[in-house]
Amino acid sequence: MKLTITPQAQNWFKKELAPAKGQGIKFYGKVYGKTQVHEGFSVGMAVDTPEDPLLTTTIGEQLFYIEATDEWFFEGFNLVVDYDEKLDEPKYDFSQA
């Protein structure tokens, strides 16, 4: 399992979100929607304080993470968070780990 944030996505997060000290950007599985590998679930994202991170990636001073409680959603997959220029928002790409 790997979490990758592209430079374009990092720039979007830096511009759009301002986590306080000790907070990061959390990715999680949420009900409704779909991904390349999930039916009925999509990727959620929120500014939050890590409690029990399963996986972390730090770029500069910005923390990105997945909590252990969301292992069920990401287990067996790598997640690349990229930027969709047309929609001006993050996009999520899964691949087998």
pLDDT averaged over 10-residue windows placed end to end, the chain, 97 residues: 95 90 91 62 89 94 94 91 95 90
pLDDT at 39: 64
The residue with tokens 């067996």 is 76
pLDDT at 72: 86
pTM: predicted TM-score of the whole model, two decimal places:
0.89
Amino acid at 48: D
Distance from C-alpha of 90 to C-alpha of 75, rounded to nearest angstrom: 21
Domain of residue 77, residue span: 2-96
> Domain holding 13: CATH number?
2.60.300.12
Q: How many domains does the chain have?
A: 1
Residue 88: DSSP 8-state: T
Confirm if 45 and 25 have CB atoms less than 8 A apart: yes
User: If residue 25 lies in a helix (H) or strand (E), which one and from where to where?
Assistant: strand 24-34
